[in-house]
Amino acid sequence: MRKGILEELNKSSVTVTDIANQSWCEYKVFLSCTQKEGQTKAMRIGEAIHMNLQKEVYKELTVEPVNYPDVFYKNAYENILTMKSVVENGKGRELKIEGDIDGFTIRGKIDELLVENGETVIVENKTTNRENGTHMDSLREMHSVQAMVYRMLFKDILEKRYTFKRYYDTNGVSRMKLSPQFIQGLKEIGIKDDMINIGAICLSMFEGYQQLPKISDTLMIRYLDRGSREVIEEVRIKYDAQWLKKILDKDFLFWNKKKSPEPVTKEDSWKCKSCYFLKINKCQFGASYFK
C-alpha cells in the first residue's frame, strides 16, 4: 500500500467520503483527518435517517464480535447477506467496499444497491433541506464523485483488477484469529464449520459480487428532506470515466504529497459559513475571507 500522506495523518486508507469531500474543500478534509470534527445537528439527523433506511432491509449477524478479526468476519458476512438481498429482493443497503486507486487502499460503504431493468444501480442517499436549492451544483458534484468512485471500485472487483488475493493480503487475513466466544456464537446460530473461517467468508463474499446483476452505468443520487424525511428528488447520472479520472488525478496529488491541501476559493467562501473549523478558529483561510 502506498503511504503518501497517510502516515502523517495516522490513517490506514483513504475513504470514498474523503475523496468526495475534496470536491467541497480539500483543506477541510485535511483538517478532519488531524482533528475530530464536531457533529452538527444536520449531521445527527442525517445519520439517524441513514440508520432507519438501513434497518428497513439490512440483516445483521447477531453474534457479538469480541476482537477486530470478529468485526472483519461480521462485515464480510453481512456483505454476503446484503448481496443475497439484492439478488432475491432487488434491493440491499450498506455494502462495504474496498479497492485501490493509485496504489492507495480505498474503503467505503455504498448506501444502496437497487435492481432496475435487470441491472444493479448504485444509489447514494443524501439528506438536505427542501429550501437548500442555491448551492445544489456544488453538492451534486461532490455526490456524483462519491457515486462514481463506488461504481469504479465495484467494476474493478467484477473485472478482477481488485482481487480476493489482493484483499486478503492488504488486510492481513492470514494473521487474523477469531475469538473463541465468537466461534461458539457462530456455531450456535448454525454456521457450518468450514465457513467459520475468515478466509472462507471473504472468498464467499468475492464470489457474491459476481452473482449480482450487471452493474449499471446509471447512478442514482436520492435527496431526502431532513425535516419530513420524504424523497425530494432522485437524480440519475451517467458514469463518466474521463470526468472522474480528471478529478482523481488532481485529488491524488494531495494524497501523494505532491501539493498542499487547497482551501476553497474566495468565490466559494460561502461554504466556510457553515464550516466547523471556522467556528473553532482552526482555519486561517476561512477566517481571512471574513475579516
Q: Which three cell numbers stand for residue 63?
A: 453474534
Of the residues 27, 182, 239, 252, which one makes contact with ligand SF4 according to CB under 6 A: 27
CB of 17 to ligand SF4, least distance (A): 16
Q: Evaluate the CA torsion angle 268, 274, 275, 278 in order and state its sign.
A: positive
Q: Evaluate the CA torsion angle 273, 22, 227, 233 in order and state its sign.
A: positive
CB of 271 to ligand SF4, least distance (A): 5
Binding span for ligand SF4 by CB under 6 A among 25-33, 58-66, 75-83, 153-161: 25-33
Our CB check for ligand SF4 shows the closer of 208 and 263 to be: 263
> How far is residue 9's CA from residue 32's CA, in Å, rounded to a whole number?
10
Query: 215-225 and 14-15: which strand pairing?
Result: unpaired
Of the residues 31, 173, 191, 248, which one makes contact with ligand SF4 according to CB under 6 A: 31
> How far is residue 196's CA from residue 178's CA, in Å, rounded to a whole number?
9
CB of 153 to ligand SF4, least distance (A): 26
CB of 291 to ligand SF4, least distance (A): 13
If one asks whether residue 223 binds ligand SF4 (CB under 6 A), the answer comes out as no
Our CB check for ligand SF4 shows the closer of 21 and 85 to be: 21
> How far is residue 142's CA from residue 266's CA, in Å, rounded to a whole number?
19
If one asks whether residue 277 binds ligand SF4 (CB under 6 A), the answer comes out as yes
C-alpha separations of 76 from 60, 120, 153 in Å: 11, 20, 17
Our CB check for ligand SF4 shows the closer of 229 and 273 to be: 273
Our CB check for ligand SF4 shows the closer of 21 and 216 to be: 21
Decide: 132 and 141 in contact? Cβ < 8 Å.
no
What number of chain residues touch ligand SF4 (CB under 6 A)? Answer: 14
If one asks whether residue 202 binds ligand SF4 (CB under 6 A), the answer comes out as no
If one asks whether residue 142 binds ligand SF4 (CB under 6 A), the answer comes out as no
Q: Which of residues 257-276 bind ligand SF4 (CB under 6 A)?
A: 263-264, 271-272, 275
Our CB check for ligand SF4 shows the closer of 32 and 256 to be: 32
Residues that bind ligand SF4 (CB under 6 A): 25, 27-28, 31, 263-264, 271-272, 275, 277-278, 283, 285-286
